[in-house]
Structure 1
Amino acid sequence: MVDYEAALEYLGSFGKYQKLKFAMLFVMQTPVAFHMLAMSFLAAKVDHHCALPGMKEAGFEPQDSECALNFSIPLVYNEDKDDWEFSQCTRYSDVGIYSLGNLSCPYFADKNETGERSATKCDQGWWYDRTQYHESIFTEFDLVCEKKAMSNIAQALYMLGVLLGSVGFGQLSDIIGRKKTLLPCLVLQIIFGVATAFAPDLTTFIIFRLIVGAACLGSFLSAYVAVTEMVGTDKRTLVATWCQISFAFGLMIMALLAYLLRSWRHLQLTISLINIPMLPLWWFMIESPRWLQSQGRDEEVERIIREAAKVNGVVVPESVFTTKKAEPKEDTGKYTVLDLVRTPNMRKRSIVIFFNWLVITMVYYGLGLNTSSLGGNDYINFALAGLVEIPALIGSIYATDYFGRRYPHSATLVLGGIACLFTPYLAPPYVAKHLNPLSITLAMVGKFAVTASFNIIYFWTAEMYPTVVRNVGVGTSSMWARVGGVISPFVLLSDTAWGPLPYLIFGVLSMTAGAVALLLPETLGVPLPDTLEEGEHFRRKKPNPPRGKEVKEQEMRLTQEDQTGNKV
């Protein structure tokens, strides 16, 4: 039997060979970020109002358009902006070519008087401001007025695909291996990503994107698990964090592509075809040695070790390849998700963990998808949101090694929550326009904080659950995270009721999650639990021994119990 753990003592936990393989997987993971937050640009919302047919025929020039709007579009009061603005969903029903052509601008220059005229819905379509976004599904499929929630539903169903992918492809990778799972995921991203770019209607767009979502998470998880399994245990947190950094790089590249390609179809086609150059890299990827070992495929593990030794310039002794096979451990039973909540302490711990995963994911994607509401340049805001993730991820490693897991995790969530609470009130109309950078800065602080907590919760969760249910615990937590991703677009939709509401929801939930996280045990520098019994009593405080008066009272109580046979 080949001992891969023993081989790492000679190869190094993260030697040259592992670094080369990791670099390839890092590049292959980067495009996943494109699809995960693409709706920020694919469904970009722009100013719009009812189309006014006949303006040109009536003699109105472009510079007269505001005059035509004053006469043709009702004014409505926007409470968030504390100002009057043109209706986006209605127009006056008595407007026609003749009436437009026979009225002069001074007649309808007063914006605050709508009179007694009747209004009707936009029966002739809509006019869209295409200054920044030339085309998006918002403008092409008219996702306005009664259909304004459809873009949020489309993103929610995409995240449902991500949920299905985490379950389906996660199990598939355990059956056929990480490498074999990665290839079909890459192919599905290309095929259905390209098909999405040519979707003739919104329903087709949603179905194709759902499949892309499942494939994206399948490829990310396969690569993520593969890199963490090829290195030593002391380097797992490091490579896992760099996997997350590949996502941040993807966000910054996405901002550049969106800036260059202002049509949603061109953008979708580009982010899908980018995966084609990744396919040749797949041939140079290795299967997870630990997975091969679990399948009894020692010859393949030996070949990988010898290849790694050659690249790393080391000699691995033959004893590594002839280790005596260990006696199989007695099967103590099958463990399910019910074991996570069967006992009181494990149940309390699991509820807090699941809540944290849900909130963190919901806030993360909520902030990522809502950068256009911050004011300023959408592309710069999106790129900054990706950029701040890099120091957040790297900093979280050092913070948890020095301060432990619990306090940095709780502090980042509370900090992110406070930032979210103040963000909308530092943007127009609440403050002057020149103070808008403060709002953007606070939003980036929120993104920084939630990204750091996202990284911490990954390995902290694995450390809190006992060995026998560790995979089940992390997998179930990840499913709750996907539920948060599904909920996030609907939270963003709450801005129709009140503009700042999404940020207030994110802020309150983040602070709540940070507070309840203090109920979880610290895991830094302590032996991790192996059995369910150890997990139930893990880091549980023992009662202090009785002292002084308490000892005397206890002795009297025991004496009375001996005499009467009953407890006092």
Structure 2
Amino acid sequence: MLVSYFKVYVACQSMLIVLVGAVPEYHIDQEGIAASRAELAKHIHFADNFTSIVTEWYLIEQEAYKVSLASSLFFAGLLIGNITFGPLSDKLGRKPVYISGSLTNLTFAVGIAVYALLGYCVREWRYLALVSNTPGVLFLLLSFMLPESPRWLYSQGKTAEAEDVLQYIALGNGKERLNLKLKPSAGIMRKDESAPGILNLVKHPVLRWRTIVLMYIWYVCSFVYYGLTLNAGELRGNLYLNVALTGLVEVPAFPLCMFFIEKSWSGRRKTMTCFLMFAGFACIFTMFLPTNAGPFLSPTLLALCGKMMVSAAFNIVYIYTSELYPTVLRNAGLGVCSMSCRFGGILAPFVPSMKSLSASVPFVVFGISGLSAGFLTLLLPETLNKPIAESIEDLQSPKYQVLKNEEAEQTS
């Protein structure tokens, strides 16, 4: 429950700029006003239904890029955290690094809706930022209640501490104190087991091509997901309702993707392809909508459909990627893909500003990205009910090659 609620806080941080950097309706008294901010402030009038950093520092026209930059810097921070705290979790343990991480995805969607409710109730941007950030202190304090991972403790040779954690878990489950004794361990994670690293993703042709495709898919998932999420402030209609729906529309995506990826007629690859392509088509179709389209055929509705589809694809890619890499390289492969994912988040905030060219341009960019990633997914093998390679040598084994040839025949 603690790590799930923590995801709500993370969602508020990710969405902070959508309301804190929102642009209310405004008009300028005169045309041809000097470009200086002081001169502009004398002649611009914002609607007073809420405040934001835009109304505070007049971040419009030539200064509007600073709002997107603020959001982009948040995702740059995620990239730094990805590079820094991922390896630390193997050295310091899972619990200390959790303070910069999270485990669940469903409550992230709920967190977006919670943030929309906060924004509706708190219209002054400084107070909204304060309310959204304060829970972080509470979660920091509550995190000390979490036990360390007993598996990690045992892998580091800390057998006694692992036994204590297992006793703590047993007592918490209502069991009597156990006579538990683990075999002494000098550390399960020996050097010979952890030797394969990132370079092996490049050395082997199969892994090299697979990694390139997966990196692009992860990039697109993040790019389209956060792009559509941050674009909620640009959609027509009620700002707070749009933000809430952008989060809640993800909820049905979870049972949908879990249902399809376990079916033999769809599996991981086909399901991922369909979700990415549906997200792409939903975005592209917005440019063909007439200006007087009804509520059931509006850019907002299509954007929400696209968000649900890419959210499902984003959830599948975690499972699919872990099954495509041999066990000894799984962490390295997931780490590289996760890094490319952050670059998508860094670029995403700037795409909504392309509406100055045309209202449909941001959606076309997201649509083309989704379609291209969907097509590239077809180049990857299916992993449903297939044995996963344990080592790099398994990729060259006859059994693996037979499975690969069968997959190629099914594709053709």
Query: Normalising by the residue count of structure 2, what TM-score does the alignment of the two structures yield?
Result: 0.89
Matching of residue 147 in structure 1 with residue 8 in structure 2: no
Q: 2:276 aligns with which of 413, 418, 421?
A: 413
Task: Give distance in 2, aligned partners of 1:517 and 1:303.
Answer: 45
- Residue-by-residue CA offset, 1:450-480 (whole Å, 9 max, x unaligned): 0000000011111111111110000110000
**Structure 1 unaligned residues grouped into runs of 5+:** 1-22, 53-71, 74-89, 92-119, 186-217, 225-242, 545-568
- Residue-by-residue CA offset, 1:523-551 (whole Å, 9 max, x unaligned): 1112111111323675421699xxxxxxx
Task: Give distance in 1, aligned partners of 2:10 and 2:194.
Answer: 37
Q: Which of the pair has more CA radius of gyration?
A: 1
Aligned equivalent of 2:383 = 523
Matching of residue 464 in structure 1 with residue 324 in structure 2: yes
Corresponding letter in the other structure for 1:423 = T
Aligned pair in 2 of structure 1 residues 287, 49: CA closer, same or farther (>3 Å)? Answer: same
Q: Counterparts of 1:104-503 in structure 2 under 5 Å?
A: 121=35, 123-125=39-41, 126-132=43-49, 134-182=50-98, 185=99, 218-220=100-102, 224=103, 243-314=104-175, 318=179, 321-323=181-183, 331=192, 334-402=195-263, 403-426=266-289, 430-432=290-292, 434-435=294-295, 438-503=298-363
**Structure 2 unaligned residues grouped into runs of 5+:** none
Aligned pair in 2 of structure 1 residues 159, 445: CA closer, same or farther (>3 Å)? Answer: same
Q: 1:432: Cα distance to partner?
A: 1.4
Q: 1:505 aligns with which of 361, 365, 370?
A: 365
Task: Give distance in 2, aligned partners of 1:279 and 1:343.
Answer: 42
- Specify the SS of the correspondent of 1:411: helix
- Residue-by-residue CA offset, 1:383-402 (whole Å, 9 max, x unaligned): 11111111102321122122
Task: Give distance in 2, aligned partners of 1:535 and 1:317.
Answer: 43
- Residue-by-residue CA offset, 1:108-143 (whole Å, 9 max, x unaligned): xxxxxxxxxxxx5573424243243x2111121221
Task: Give distance in 1, aligned partners of 2:143 and 2:110.
Answer: 20
Contact 2:157 2:184 in 1 (8 A): no
Aligned equivalent of 1:540 = 404
Q: 2:6 aligns with which of 28, 45, 62?
A: 28
Task: Give distance in 2, aligned partners of 1:308 and 1:412.
Answer: 39
Contact 1:346 1:536 in 2 (8 A): no
Contact 2:156 2:187 in 1 (8 A): no
Q: 1:330: Cα distance to partner?
A: 7.6
Aligned pair in 2 of structure 1 residues 542, 388: CA closer, same or farther (>3 Å)? Answer: closer
Corresponding letter in the other structure for 2:97 = T
Task: Give distance in 2, aligned partners of 1:424 and 1:341.
Answer: 40
Aligned pair in 2 of structure 1 residues 507, 327: CA closer, same or farther (>3 Å)? Answer: closer
Task: Give distance in 2, aligned partners of 1:498 and 1:362.
Answer: 20
- Specify the SS of the correspondent of 2:275: helix
Query: Normalising by the residue count of structure 1, what TM-score does the alignment of the two structures yield?
Result: 0.66
Contact 1:128 1:139 in 2 (8 A): no
Q: 1:324: Cα distance to partner?
A: 7.1
Task: Give distance in 2, aligned partners of 1:247 and 1:471.
Answer: 23
Contact 2:277 2:370 in 1 (8 A): yes
- Specify the SS of the correspondent of 1:341: helix
Contact 2:27 2:46 in 1 (8 A): no
Task: Give distance in 2, aligned partners of 1:28 and 1:157.
Answer: 21
- Residue-by-residue CA offset, 1:332-356 (whole Å, 9 max, x unaligned): 6722322112222211111110000
Task: Give distance in 1, aligned partners of 2:322 and 2:275.
Answer: 19
Task: Give distance in 2, aligned partners of 1:300 and 1:327.
Answer: 13
Task: Give distance in 1, aligned partners of 2:389 and 2:203.
Answer: 16
Contact 2:154 2:187 in 1 (8 A): no
Q: 1:316: Cα distance to partner?
A: 8.9
- Specify the SS of the correspondent of 2:181: helix
Contact 2:155 2:187 in 1 (8 A): no
Q: 1:315: Cα distance to partner?
A: 6.9
- Residue-by-residue CA offset, 1:284-333 (whole Å, 9 max, x unaligned): 21111111111111112212222322333457975x62447699778267
Task: Give distance in 1, aligned partners of 2:83 and 2:407.
Answer: 41
Aligned equivalent of 1:43 = 21
- Specify the SS of the correspondent of 2:298: helix
Alignment coverage as a number of residue pairs: 399
- Residue-by-residue CA offset, 1:229-249 (whole Å, 9 max, x unaligned): xxxxxxxxxxxxxx1011111
- Specify the SS of the correspondent of 2:47: coil
Aligned residues with identical type, % of pairs:
34
Q: 1:277: Cα distance to partner?
A: 3.1
- Specify the SS of the correspondent of 2:199: helix
Task: Give distance in 1, aligned partners of 2:71 and 2:2.
Answer: 29
Corresponding letter in the other structure for 1:413 = L
